[in-house]
Amino acid sequence: MKNLRLLTLLLMALPAFAHAALNVFACEPEWGALATELGGDAVKVYTATTAFQDPHRIEARPSLIAQMRRAGLAVCTGSELEVGWLPVLLRQSGNAAIQPGQPGNFEAAHYVAMLEKPSLLDRSQGDVHPGGNPHIQTDPRNIARVAQALSARLAEIDPEHAAHYQTRLKDFNSRWNAAMARWQTEAAPLKGMGIVVQHLAFPYLENWLGLKQVAVLEPKPGVEPSVSHLAEVAALLKSSPARAIVRASYQNPRPSEWLSEHAGIPVVVLAFTVGGSDRAKDLFGLFDDSIEQLLKAAR
Amino acid sequence: MLRPTLLVAALAVALPAYADADLDALRAEIQHMKQDYETRIQSLEARLQNAESRADNTAQIAASESAVSNSNAFNPEISLVLQGGYASLKDIPKRRINGFLPDGTSPGTTRGFSVNETELVMAANIDPDFRGSTNLVVTDGSVSVEEAWFQTLSLGNGLTLKGGRFRSSIGYQNEQHPHAWDFADNNLMTRALFGEGYSNDGLQLKWVAPSELFTELGAEIGRGANFPGTDRNQNGIGSYALYGHIGGDIGDSNSWRGGVSYLSTRAVERSGTVADFNGVDTNTAFSGDGQTWMADFVWKWAPNGNPTVNNFKFAAELFRRSEDGNLSCDDAGSLSLCSGGVTGAYRATQYGGYAQGVYQFMPHWRAGYRYDLLDPGSADFGLNNANLPRPDYKPARHSLMADYSPSEFTRLRLQYSKDQSMQNQNENQWFVQYIYSLGTHGAHSF
């Protein structure tokens, strides 16, 4: 009986705890990091995935349902990146605030210009995303656009702290713009550099830095490359050479290592998102590190 | 001499005037050019500004374009699951698990080539408050409604209400449709308890606790028409279920879920077939209450939580079912010991379970092993103890499978089972199976 009373007390106290800070459920580390930049103490961020997990393939784990249940805002990429797991979390959470169409459901892909929108929607094309390539976080200009929208959304959901979010956005913007100018100067030698990518994960990065994508290791998006396909890529590289093979930290290292051995060009493992390397501790570190890794290969 | 001097003088006088005019003209020209450049620069600036704002606009348009779509985007998510294959089995006309009262519709597996159930699934959010889903199973000459339910989206506070016909959330395997199974056939436990799986027409209320540890409590009430209950032509609640699940992560690589479930059912004249002491089939009818307890546990491992290359899944369930009531037996062909019809008390408490592990050893390839064991426990037929043998045989089965999934929409499977679920039968079973999922298929649960 005493235990029951304690439990009731705890349950009653829970909403009060939730009020202390806005619970943000970030589907990917980059949005978790951005929410932390923009929210500071006013938000409590839970990041659902790590840089070493494939955001297309996440289990709808019980722990994620429990976190979604507590969230006041879910920040995800959208464009069907999380189609294999997010809908399950949303439906099983019993949380009305973060359902699609509610202010608590934020999709970053709505706020940037999407690349690689497929003209043919057919599963024979592999894992295609009707809304365009969802890996938008590899271009810092996209981060800036999403920051604008996310800050506004935070203020909408948590109007008490609107001024706080405004100040933090201003501060973030000035630091981010300065960093972008620096990255652009540093990355000047990368312009026109040919690269091979393992997965179509970098069109936004290529677009930003002027990298030239020569080949893709996956024959179709999301399909593991076979040895015969890798051999074709190696043959192609003889006529149109590339300086590096680029893959994200979560991807299977074997295909890129195979090609590296056979084509004699280095593999560049990009952090891809926050936490993907030792230096990519936050969004600034992510781009510092990515550009440095690419520059190393360009030299 | 004078003329040149004069000329020079005249020139000297005239030159400044001349030069002045030239300079003015030059100045005017420079001024003109300056103005010209300024206007040009201004117009260029304006054009640049225009272009910039246009680029922004196109970005915005492109961003909003994804939201614009045609009317058929409001169609429900439709998916079709094709299943079929080849089975090599012994010729056993009446397959039933020894010691367990059958569910009436014995799940006979077809020998040779066959198309299994073809599932048609349609689901969509109906409005901001509700989601709906149907699961139709098409077999030769019939369409059965496996599931047809609505579910709330906006109750909040962790509550979700589901209504209609749905697979019960008791245990773990029960809620899964055949295409999501890890083996070609169902485990013996689920088969003995419910046939393919327990579903109900009724209501389900689930509550997820606002805690970091996943805690889910659920209650279901319904018609209770399905085995081990029966349809009873009555108002009120035919069966109810209660369950709780907890789950969480251990590090990045491990996640788990466990739970306890309870199902209460009531049967009236539930028909079945049992062999008497002479091995002659008699028709039986059971009336009474059933209570089923289940415990389930699932553990999944993937290095760093990334299941793409390697992953492992372990699942195990246990049950205890007790049935209490009357069992009447009557002969089918006037040869049995039950001739004329004998009704006796029936009381049985039975146990069983399964444990399985499935390992993905390289991308697209998995291998798995499952062990099934049932214990018929203490079945007491009362008066009919004179006619019907009290079971003491423990059905068991070993299954080994390997499957290949070139994409998440395709699965090809080979399975071998050593089936000892029937006394005196030690059967080697082989299955080759395909599962294709076409269209927009909703994500699967944990």
pLDDT tens column, A176-187: 999 999 999 999
Q: Is B192 among the domain residues?
A: yes
Q: Which of residues 387-416 of B touch A (CB under 8 A)?
A: 406-409
- Cα distances from A97 to residues A104, A256, B323, B365, B427, in angstroms, run 5, 42, 44, 39, 54
- Cα distances from B243 to residues A115, B45, B219, B266, in angstroms, run 47, 70, 7, 18
**Which residue shows structure tokens 């419910």?**
B194
Whether A12 has its CB under 8 Å from any CB of chain B: the answer is no
Q: Is B444 among the domain residues?
A: no
Instruction: Please name the residue of chain B whose CA is at the shortest distance from the CA of residue A111.
Output: B63
Checking if the pLDDT of A18 tops 50, the result is no
Under an 8 A CB cutoff, do A57 and B306 touch? yes
Under an 8 A CB cutoff, do A54 and B308 touch? yes
Q: How far is B415 from chain A (nearest CA, A)?
A: 25
Q: Is B445 among the domain residues?
A: no
Write down the pTM of the prediction. Answer: 0.86
Q: Are residues B41 and B147 in the same domain?
A: no
Q: Is B256 among the domain residues?
A: yes
Task: Return the amino acid letter for A241.
Answer: P
Contact residues, chain B, for A49 at CB < 8 Å: 305
CA R_g for chain A = 21
Residue B443 confidence (pLDDT):
79
Q: Are residues B13 and B114 in the same domain?
A: no
Q: Are residues B16 and B131 in the same domain?
A: no
Residue A91 confidence (pLDDT):
94
Q: Are residues B92 and B231 in the same domain?
A: yes
Whether B246 has its CB under 8 Å from any CB of chain A: the answer is yes
Residue B67 confidence (pLDDT):
46
pLDDT below 70 — which residues of chain B?
1-21, 45-73, 104-108, 332-334
Q: What number is the ipTM of this complex?
A: 0.87
Q: Are residues B398 and B294 in the same domain?
A: yes
Whether A60 has its CB under 8 Å from any CB of chain B: the answer is yes
Q: Are residues B90 and B20 in the same domain?
A: no
Residue B104 confidence (pLDDT):
64
pLDDT tens by residue, B256-315? 999 999 999 999 999 988 888 888 888 899 999 999 999 999 999 999 999 989 999 999
Are B163 and B202 a contacting pair, CB within 8 Å? yes
Domains with residue ranges and CATH for chain A:
10-182 (3.40.50.1980), 187-298 (3.40.50.1980)
Q: Is B92 among the domain residues?
A: yes
Q: Which domain holds residue B35?
A: 1-66
Closest C-alpha to A268, from A287, A284, A246: A246
Q: Are residues B166 and B217 in the same domain?
A: yes
Q: What is the C-alpha to C-alpha distance for residues B307 and B405, in angstroms, rounded to an integer?
A: 14
Q: How many helices (H) and strands (E) does chain A have?
A: 10, 8
Q: Which of residues 197-256 of A touch B (CB under 8 A)?
A: 222-224, 250, 252
Give the count of domains, chain B: 2
Q: Is B74 among the domain residues?
A: no
Checking if the pLDDT of A11 tops 70, the result is no
Q: What is the C-alpha to C-alpha distance for residues A249 and A280, in angstroms, rounded to an integer?
A: 11
User: What CATH number did the domain enclosing B276 receive?
Assistant: 2.40.160.10
Q: Are residues B38 and B181 in the same domain?
A: no
Q: Are residues B35 and B103 in the same domain?
A: no
Under an 8 A CB cutoff, do A57 and B308 touch? yes
Residue B20 confidence (pLDDT):
66
Residue B439 confidence (pLDDT):
86
Q: Are residues B95 and B60 in the same domain?
A: no
Q: Is B72 among the domain residues?
A: no
**Of B66, B90, B111, which residue constitutes the final position of a domain?**
B66
**Which residue shows structure tokens 């500071």?**
A40
- Cα distances from B169 to residues A77, B122, B176, B372, in angstroms, run 31, 20, 9, 21
Q: Between B124 and A126, name the one with better pLDDT.
A: B124
Q: Are residues B291 and B405 in the same domain?
A: yes
Q: Are residues B218 and B253 in the same domain?
A: yes
Mean pLDDT for A42-46 is 97
pLDDT tens by residue, A270-285? 999 999 999 999 999 9
Q: Is B73 among the domain residues?
A: no
